[in-house]
Amino acid sequence: MKMPVESKICGNDGVRLDSFVTEAFDSTYSRSFYKRLIDDGKIKVNGKVIIKAGTKLANGDVVEADIPAPAPDDSFIAQDIPLDIVYEDSDLLVINKPQGMVVHPAAGHSEGTLVNALLAHCKDDLSDINGVLRPGIVHRIDKDTSGLMLACKNNFTHLKLADMLSRHEIVREYRALVYGYVKEDRGMVDAPIGRSSNDRRKMAVNKDGKSAVTHFEVVERLGEITDMKLVLETGRTHQIRVHMAYINHPVVGDPVYASRRKNYGLAGQALHSQAITFVHPRTGETMHFETDLPDYYKKVIESFKA
């Protein structure tokens, strides 16, 4: 299976090619993976193959990456796992993912993922642009984040939705419980996010990272925690979790960015993808979907009102 060539535009002068492609393209892969792609002539800058990882880029340079599809995994199976499907047609699904479900297979999670469930539900009707290990997946939410996400049944829909995401044309609204008393009624966090230099498993605000913007509004102040509504302008890995920690109000129960804080009995972060709005790629109709807050979230709120 041939993967489409992806392109990204460099926004800064003097950035190393290997650093840029590692941050700009699929974060599933490591820096060494991208260095091998450069060595193999799979990376182009302004249409020209570049094989030196240390090549310095300039603002406006167009970088193309020919990323091979993941090799098939014979142990990768369809599983009849119940899905909370909010909407479905011949092009896409809107799914309400429960907290604790991994979106796609990875090390330690070869079964029980959303993709395993989608393979059983959709059979062969899933886009394959993201490769064998992530059929149908156009965007992700973290394992312990609950709520709405999109899945694609064909490549036409996948490419259209991916383009809308890159243009910030899909509105994604979250709810989060955060530590502390948030003073501002509403505001914005505009801080670039990249891989943490101290722990590669974490993301962090990083001046050399990707542009990241989160809008927030206080729903209710509950004393030592605050209920927030957040809208993503961009969609970086762990964006809300990193931005809230950056302004000293990390998400309640976050095992990565607030591991030493009281978790109120939560199994993971109190973060829920509550609403999504987008234009249907085929019909042009504006689609809006919204879910109720999950029980784990409501229980924490109720404990502060008891």
Whether 62 and 74 have beta carbons less than 8 Å apart is answered as no
User: Residues for the chain: how many in total?
Assistant: 306
| Of 110, 85, 102, the residue nearest 142 (C-alpha) | 102
Exposure string over 87-98, b if 16+ CB within 10 A, otherwise e: eeeebbbbbbbe
Determine the residue type at 129: I
d(CA 289, CA 118): 20
What is the CB-side half-sphere exposure of residue 244 using CA atoms within 13 A? Answer: 36
Q: Is 124 annotated in the active site?
A: no
d(CA 174, CA 240): 9
Instruction: Please identify which of the residues 91, 142, 227, 254 carries the catalytic annotation.
Output: 142
Residues with catalytic roles: 142
